[in-house]
Structure 1
Amino acid sequence: MAYMKEQGRKRRYSEDEEMGDATPPTRTFTIKQQQQQHRDDWKRSKTGLTKKSPLNLKLATMDKEKLLQVLASLLEKQPELKHDIMTYIPAPTIPSAMAVLNDKEKKLHGSFPYNKAGPRLDQYTFSRVREPLLDLIDTITQYSHHFVSATIFPTVCFTYLDQVTHFAHRLPTWGIDQHNQPRLDLYKDLTLFWIQAIQTTASKLSHDATFHADTIGLWARNLAHHNTLANGLLDNAIYEFNQRLLQPTTATATAAPTAPFAVTTPSSSQSQSSPFNPYDFPSSTLPPSACHPSPVTTITPSPVVGYADLRR
């Protein structure tokens, strides 16, 4: 009797064991299906990936300077590719241009030979820094051709000119006049770019474009400030600004430049010129751009960007 009970218990235990073993095959089959599904999904997603070519992998290991050299060499050998490549290059912005110029300015400063008493400005030092110096000047000129054009909005033109002219002020002044010629040439070019921006803006004003008096006043203060730092090398731009944007058009043909934003009218019967002030005229005879305070007495540092900002 005890044996039968034991057999019954064993039988029931065996049956329970078989019942318990009935589930895993189903679960194992389900897991295998899921794993196969994942493999299929991975294969489908993998086919959609773009496989990098060996050329892409090699280019990824090159720094920016090396890539620029390769690209420049390629364009020099195959100039017909220039148009196609330019379509992929975005137009520079003021922040991106300033970043490039800042890097080149740092390279210029880093090329000065070490001296305990500070950088020397002699013949030997000039020979060491000549290449990065001319590179910085050339880059300023190239960017200026882009930002100072009829297709660029005047506010962008004047903002760029205000920022980029600070680079000219910070160029070293050498003990030999011949070495200062690149710096003087840059000031001449910047003067022409300022004049071009002024003339373009005046042309837009003549075609019913309007600019707030505060905006024109800001441009005037910036230009006057730069002319002060340049010891009068931007006098021609000052004169053009006064003639085109601050004075009545009736006085344009007879006025002559003197101090910043002070114009004189020569007389055939007098040997000395008398000062001409456009603000002495009734407001009804003045263009809207002239109806704001003269910046002569308020020459202050540029509010757009300061020296410390450009050294970051």
Structure 2
Amino acid sequence: KRQRNIPQGRPLPLPRLLSSLDNAQLQSIILGLTERHPQLLGEVQSLAPRPTITSSISVLHRLEAAVREAFPYGGDPAGDYAYNRVRPCLNELLSALMDYTPHFLPPHEPHFDTSLSFLDEATHIIHRLPNWSNPLHNISKRQAYEEMCGAWISVFRDAIGKSSGVGLVRGGWVEKVEQHNEVAGGRLGSVVEYLRGEVGWLRAVEQQQEQQGG
């Protein structure tokens, strides 16, 4: 009789092994490899697809949802107990926000409309951050607004250099920043002042032309 081939155990092929892992496991493996072999870091970064606004905001929204879910049931939602429960998730959200924002700033991001669309969404997230009874616990939100001010001005400066501000005025970005500043209680005032000083005249011309055309 012909002897049967008896299969022997063997590890999964790498593509099949990777397909069975979830995102957290893949991330852990890649980070572990780059920590052991720092020379791989640049190669991994060059091979990874560039994050989009959609994918980046999706991550931030997921972290924002974790903040909401961390609040305890009942009690004072602005008190110290709630803050201590929420703080780890809140810090994770703020850390991610500060990591993603420079990715969408010039010169790394050459298209100012992409930069501004991200900043618009990111600023909305900051608006929704919790407010606490203890003023010390609100420092991180104030700092987030300060960081966002610098980011907005950086993009506006780049956009004005490329298009003299025409795209900003016609895109309604002056009005959008003014609305953000109102919601933020004036914390984006430096951005509004900068933008009015740079493109205020152009905005007035556009409005006059609209009135004459109407």
TM (norm. structure 1) is 0.58
CA distance in 1, matches of 2:168, 2:45: 36
1:79 equivalenced with 2:33 (yes/no): no
Residue 290 of structure 1: CA displacement?
A: 4.7
C-alpha change, 1:164 and 1:195, in structure 2 (3 Å) is same
C-alpha change, 1:153 and 1:72, in structure 2 (3 Å) is same
Gaps in structure 1 of 5+ consecutive residues? 1-51, 248-287, 295-312
**RMSD of aligned residue pairs (Cα, Å):** 2.4
CA distance in 2, matches of 1:290, 1:241: 13
Residue from 191, 207, 212 that aligns with 1:293:
207
1:186 corresponding residue in structure 2: 144
C-alpha change, 1:290 and 1:154, in structure 2 (3 Å) is farther
Please give the per-residue CA displacement for 1:150-196, whole angstroms capped at 9, x wherever unaligned: 34211112111111100000000011111111111100000000110
1:46 corresponding residue in structure 2: none
3-state DSSP of counterpart to 2:167: coil
> Computing the radius of gyration over CA atoms, which structure comes out larger, 1 or 2?
1
2:4 corresponding residue in structure 1: none
1:175 equivalenced with 2:89 (yes/no): no
Please give the per-residue CA displacement for 1:175-224, whole angstroms capped at 9, x wherever unaligned: 11111111111000000001101111111135xx8537421xx1011100
1:108-187 superposed matches below 5 A: 108-115=67-74, 120-150=77-107, 151-187=109-145
Residue 289 of structure 1: CA displacement?
A: 5.3
1:106 corresponding residue in structure 2: 65
C-alpha change, 1:244 and 1:185, in structure 2 (3 Å) is same
Residue from 241, 245, 251 that aligns with 2:195:
241
2:61 alignment partner AA: N
CA distance in 2, matches of 1:171, 1:212: 27
Residue 74 of structure 1: CA displacement?
A: 2.5
1:202 equivalenced with 2:156 (yes/no): no
Paired positions, count: 198
Residue 69 of structure 1: CA displacement?
A: 2.5
2:200 alignment partner AA: L
2:205 alignment partner AA: C
Q: Does the CA-based 8 Å contact 2:56-2:100 persist in structure 1? A: yes
1:3-82 superposed matches below 5 A: 53-82=12-41
Gaps in structure 2 of 5+ consecutive residues? 1-10, 209-214
TM (norm. structure 2) is 0.83
CA distance in 1, matches of 2:52, 2:98: 15
